[in-house]
Amino acid sequence: MRVTQPETRQDGQQGDAAISKIASRPDPVRLQRVELILQQIESLPTLSPIAQRLLRLSSSENADIREIVALVEADAALTGRLLAMCRRVSTGLGDSITTVERAVVMLGFEAVRSALLSVHLHDLLSGKGIDEVDGAESAGAGSASTIDRRGLWRHSLAVACAAELIAEHARPKLATVKPDEAFVCGLLHDLGKHALDAVIPKTYACVAQIADHRQVGIAEVERSVIGVDHHGAGKRLGEHWGLPHALLDVIWLHGQSRELLPELQHWRLIGVVSIADAMARQLHLGWSGNCAPLPDVEKLCAEWEIDPGAIERIQQQLHERVAARTRDLGLDELQDADLAIESVLEANRRLGSLNTALQERSRLAAQQARALEAVVAFHTGKSEARTLVRAFMDVTRSAAGLFGDGFYAIAYQQRPGAAWHLCNCEASGRVLRHVMADPVPGAEDLAILAENPQLGAANVDLFNWLAEQLGDLNDVRRLRLMPLIAGADRPAFLIHDREIDSALVRGPALEAVRATWASAIAAAAQHDGARRLGEQLADANRRLVDAQGKLTEARSMARLGELASGAAHEMNNPLTVIRGRSQLLAGRLSDADLKRAASSISDAAEKLSDLISSLHLFASPPKPVYRSTDIPDLLSRVIRDMKLSLAERTGAAPPVRLVVQGPIPPVWVDPDQLGAVLTELLKNACEARPHGLIELRAHIEDEDGRLVIVVKDDGCGMSQHALQHAFDPFFSEKPAGRQTGLGLARARRLVDLHGGRIELESERGRGTTARILIDQWREPQPVEHTEKQAA
């Protein structure tokens, strides 16, 4: 490839880095970039009305010579160029041709159309480019040429001439393909390359260099780096120009296998241009940028049903035809011998590129062989049961054998948010330093740096973190990260200071080595985890037992609820009668003893009715009615109501101190049910006869964001037996005349309905602490809002 900018890095490393950088962009970013490029292509200069009319005439069966004459006479510049072409072509009549009509008669209708269109397109496509899409490049007057534009135009002209010759010599089988139409299609078949070079000149030069370095088709590299190839770009520009459908399909589909084409009436025209392109490349006429292996022209002829003998005759005439067309059009004073010499030089250059590519591939093959030997050696020295540290040692020893002596360390995180293993080893595998480090500030930088493995000067936090954890480092900026395990769940990196060939880094052999190292680390981590499996199973068994207990309790509550519901229904009516009659009887009796007896009957019936109602509420509590609640206000209201209640019954109430730690946003709870729970806890604290204050405290935990409400007293405390059965229904250690024993049981049921739990801590003589823990206290977001956030 002919490139006039010498700044590109040797061996195509800069171009290969471009593929890695651009191809790794997130899909939405790449799609947006491609769309921007296509929009810029559509902003390129459009064809003039004269050129558009010439194109339509070239595909029309009923074209009139007078239309050509009128079009040319309307443009003074075109008139002058046409008459100049007549003087160059004429063998003595040039000076006597002074009108457009006579020029058309002398040169021929088709020749004039093709020549004028060639000149116009040459002027247009050889013009100056526009700003790069990314805003960092331009191809203005002051910038150097990025690709061999002259060679690209000569290649397009050679393909046009070859297509014209094929259409002329391969008749009658190609009777549907007109020579002048074939010429135009060949001239514009690489329109997309001109467009991409105009829009993104430096990037496209990089693409051409990569194709030359790797000796692959340029379209493949275009799709990898840019996201769109010259076929698609040319079709987009052709649509913007309003080109005929047949010409658009040639631009888009040339070079494709015939069996892959859709059903098209002009499929033979596509085949003619495909064969012409192969011929021009085979004869090294101009520069196409396509470094893929040369196609077999004879096989192409068989595929497209064209006589190979005609192709041989055309190849003998092609140099002469291209040179003549170049001179006739006034584009260059090129002789046949000059063109032949250029073709030979281009062929030699291509051989040199192939030789360089073969040497590069040979060097890479040797490196790949070393990498595969490292895999074999690693598996040969594998121990049956590696610990994690042993795996770090083996990986370091293997890396040193492959890349050479230097600095090596392994960074491994077993799960997100966990501490990092950082193990620095000698080349022999001996551990120099192994630490467990807290996550690096901005831990996501590790994943970013894995894509661009050389640590930049901007990563000051990462520098400091590595220097702090790994000890004295000579130059931390030379360190690189090689990812060993893909994904963010268990990231692992080899930290080293070696210069590794970029081609080897992307090669399959090193990928196999990295996979081997990653598998060893992952297996060692699983082995270490297996040693803790017994504890995990025991913990799971405990959780299972707890779950079974809760399930049994839930079933018991369900049966108790059914019993309480039936009892409430069957007993409340008789109890109402008993209470009513006893109250009526007490009002009529004059004897004091009998009056007290009747009142006792009424009190007992009311107590029994309250017990049944309480039991029903315990077994089948109402569903919470959630609403946004201010916790400080709720706690203050509960304290006030509890004090008023105790003052009415006992005449005094112990002091209660309310402590709200930090700002607590509004919580999503049932304030009545949560207030009933707090009232029960405060009542029990008051009945414990505290010596000092009762403390009611609320806060949000920093670790897991739970809402915590604490009721603490310094009263008599609870025995171990009472603490064990505190939440059992009807349990109480209070003497005769106690309450029903459903208070704490009902409080726990209400907290369970909020997805929380109650914990009790108590010691005789030291008081009791009750904690309410609620995880889900935030107001749920609407479904539409959640989906928008996810999007």
Give the residue ranges of DSSP H helices in 620-728.
Answer: 631-650, 671-687, 720-724
Question: Could you count the other beta carbons within 10 Å of the beta carbon of residue 108?
Answer: 13
pLDDT confidence bin for 505, thresholds 50/70/90: low
CA dist 25 and 100 (Å) reads 56
Are 433 and 558 spatial neighbours (Cβ–Cβ below 8 Å)? no
Q: Is the pLDDT of residue 14 over 70?
A: no
For residue 325, the number of C-alpha atoms closer than 13 Å in the C-beta half-sphere is: 29
Q: Is the pLDDT of residue 785 over 80?
A: no
Using DSSP's 3-state secondary structure scheme, residue 708 falls into: strand
Looking at residue 631, what is its pLDDT? 92
Distance of CA 496 to the CA centre of its chain: 27
Task: Give pLDDT tens digits for 723-775.
Answer: 887 877 777 776 655 566 677 888 888 888 888 989 999 888 888 999 999 98
Q: Which residues of 49-58 are buried (b: 16+ CB within 10 A; e: fewer)?
A: ebbebbbebb
pLDDT confidence bin for 458, thresholds 50/70/90: very low
What does DSSP say about strands 480-485 and 492-496: parallel, antiparallel, or unpaired? antiparallel
Structure tokens belonging to residue 240: 């913007």
Q: State the DSSP H helix or E strand holding residue 694, giving kind and residue range, or none if neither.
A: strand 694-700
Rounded mean pLDDT of 511-532? 81
Of residues 264, 293, 290, the one with CA closest to residue 192: 290
Residues ≥6 apart with Cβ < 8 Å to 419: 413, 436, 437, 438, 439
Q: Write down the mean pLDDT value for the chain.
A: 76
Structure tokens belonging to residue 69: 């004459």
Task: Give pLDDT tens digits for 219-237.
Answer: 999 988 888 899 999 998 8
- Look at 126-130, 327-331, 509-513, 628-632 and tell me which has the smallest mean pLDDT: 126-130
Reduced to 3 DSSP states, what percent helix, strand and coil does the chain have, rounded to the nearest 5?
A: 60, 10, 30
Structure tokens belonging to residue 89: 């072509």
If one compares 192 and 137, the residue with the highest pLDDT of the two is 192
Task: Give pLDDT tens digits for 550-598.
Answer: 677 667 666 766 666 666 667 777 878 787 888 888 788 888 888 888 8
Portion of the chain with pLDDT greater than 90, in percent:
9
Q: Is the pLDDT of residue 8 over 50?
A: no
If one compares 21 and 65, the residue with the highest pLDDT of the two is 65
For residue 186, the number of C-alpha atoms closer than 13 Å in the C-beta half-sphere is: 33
* DSSP, residue by residue, 233-266: HHHHHHHHHT--HHHHHHHHHTTS-GGGS---TT
Q: State the DSSP H helix or E strand holding residue 668, giving kind and residue range, or none if neither.
A: strand 667-669
pTM given for the model: 0.48
Q: Is the pLDDT of residue 145 over 80?
A: no
pLDDT confidence bin for 670, thresholds 50/70/90: very high
Are 392 and 518 spatial neighbours (Cβ–Cβ below 8 Å)? no
CA dist 433 and 735 (Å) reads 66
Q: Is the pLDDT of residue 387 over 70?
A: yes
If one compares 443 and 683, the residue with the highest pLDDT of the two is 683
If one compares 134 and 424, the residue with the highest pLDDT of the two is 424
Of residues 30, 14, 18, 41, the one with CA closest to residue 197: 41
Q: Is the pLDDT of residue 264 over 70?
A: yes
Q: Is the pLDDT of residue 720 over 60?
A: yes
Of residues 191, 194, 233, 220, the one with CA closest to residue 36: 233
Of residues 25, 287, 256, 245, the one with CA closest to residue 147: 287
pLDDT confidence bin for 455, thresholds 50/70/90: very low
Rounded mean pLDDT of 393-407? 87
Give the residue ranges of DSSP H helices in 471-507.
Answer: 502-506
Are 272 and 246 spatial neighbours (Cβ–Cβ below 8 Å)? no
If one compares 42 and 352, the residue with the highest pLDDT of the two is 42
Looking at residue 669, what is its pLDDT? 93
